[in-house]
């Protein structure tokens, strides 16, 4: 499922490009959509823009695939309001990041998710990304959260493949585990994960979807061949911020501009060259 970028044009959300991007990734075989996460530049969207982008995504999805809307915040009240809006707008679920910067302890993390859980009636996917949020939700705390009525799984961006096995042991195989790092997706699937929320899927929606389909079918030899095509693109996309890498790739495809909002700036020339070469290697751009 792509963590969708939010295309901009002259400082505003480019609704036309966004709708076309959604159609393209769905038609390319992606299994769901994740708008307004960090890759969607949620930190620099206004609340009105955030809500609008969620609404556009749901409308353009037209029920073809589920929409898991980003609704996280380091302010619990704000996260509750964003989650309530996503539910009212028709999202199929919400992605809630562990509160960044504040550094709550494990009890604070649980209470944060408990408050959001009590406010809505749609599925919640925890987003655990210690490199960005600084704090790491423990397996024990995640198990407590899973006992809440709406928490169904995790987007795991710990970078530790062992966590997939540990969480599977603690919560059982029905607990939905999604890789939060493109390059670990194949390894996570082999360990019992269920998919990936992917940045690279913005640029290479068909091969990333094909990789997951191969895993679902147990064809790991086929999945590995696709992975070999994609590894340079996984690496190049994240030489700088993932969103700038994805927008660079989309600009090469003529599907969106490179425009981002400060403090982000477009990719440097060296990174652009690496992304272009990686896209050629992946077979998504002609040399």
Q: What is the mean pLDDT of residues 55-74?
A: 98
Which of the residues 52, 155, 247, 272 is marked catalytic? 155
Position 21 scores a pLDDT of 98
Answer whether residue 139 shows pLDDT above 90: yes
287 pLDDT tier (thresholds 50, 70, 90): confident
Position 12 scores a pLDDT of 98
Give the percent of the chain with pLDDT over 70.
Answer: 100
Secondary structure of 4-41 in the HEC alphabet? CCCCEECCEECHHHHHHHHHHHHHCCCCCEECCCHHHC
Which of the residues 127, 146, 247, 272 is marked catalytic? 127
Answer whether residue 247 shows pLDDT above 90: yes
| pLDDT tens sequence across 107-119 | 999 999 999 999 9
| pLDDT tens sequence across 155-200 | 999 999 999 999 999 999 999 999 999 999 999 999 999 999 999 9
Answer whether residue 282 shows pLDDT above 90: yes
Residue 100: active-site member = no
Residue 155: active-site member = yes
User: What are the Cα distances from residue 116, in Å, to 6, 45, 89, 123, 176?
Assistant: 25, 21, 16, 11, 19
Question: What is the domain class of 8-218 according to CATH?
Answer: alpha beta
51 pLDDT tier (thresholds 50, 70, 90): very high
Q: What mean pLDDT, rounded, does the chain reach?
A: 98
Give the percent of the chain with pLDDT over 90.
Answer: 100
């Amino acid at each position: 499922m792509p963590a969708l970028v939010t295309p901009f044009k002259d400082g505003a959300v480019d609704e036309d490009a966004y709708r076309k991007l959604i159609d393209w990734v769905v038609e390319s075989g992606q299994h769901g959509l994740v708008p307004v996460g960090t890759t969607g530049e949620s930190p620099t969207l206004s609340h009105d823009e955030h809500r609008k982008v969620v609404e556009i995504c749901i409308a353009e999805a037209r029920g073809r695939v589920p929409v898991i809307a980003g609704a996280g915040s380091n302010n619990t009240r704000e996260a509750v309001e964003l989650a309530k809006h996503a539910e009212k707008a028709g999202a199929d679920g919400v992605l809630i990041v562990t509160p960044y910067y504040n550094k709550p302890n494990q009890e604070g993390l649980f209470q944060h998710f408990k408050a959001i859980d009590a406010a809505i009636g749609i599925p919640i996917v925890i987003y655990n990304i210690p490199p960005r949020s600084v704090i790491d939700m423990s397996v024990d705390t995640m198990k407590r959260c899973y006992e809440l009525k709406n928490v169904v799984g995790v987007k795991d961006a710990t970078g530790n493949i062992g966590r997939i096995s540990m969480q599977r042991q603690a919560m059982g195989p029905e607990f939905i585990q999604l890789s939060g790092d493109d390059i670990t997706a194949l390894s996570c699937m082999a360990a019992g994960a269920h998919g990936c929320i992917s940045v690279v899927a913005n640029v290479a929606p068909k091969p990333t979807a094909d990789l997951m389909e191969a895993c679902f079918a147990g064809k790991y030899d086929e999945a590995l061949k696709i992975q070999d095509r994609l590894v340079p693109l996984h690496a190049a996309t994240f030489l700088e911020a993932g969103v700038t890498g994805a927008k660079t790739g989309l600009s090469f495809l003529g599907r969106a501009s490179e425009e981002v909002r400060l403090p982000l700036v477009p990719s440097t020339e060296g990174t652009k060259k690496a992304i272009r070469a990686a896209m050629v290697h992946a077979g998504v751009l002609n040399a």
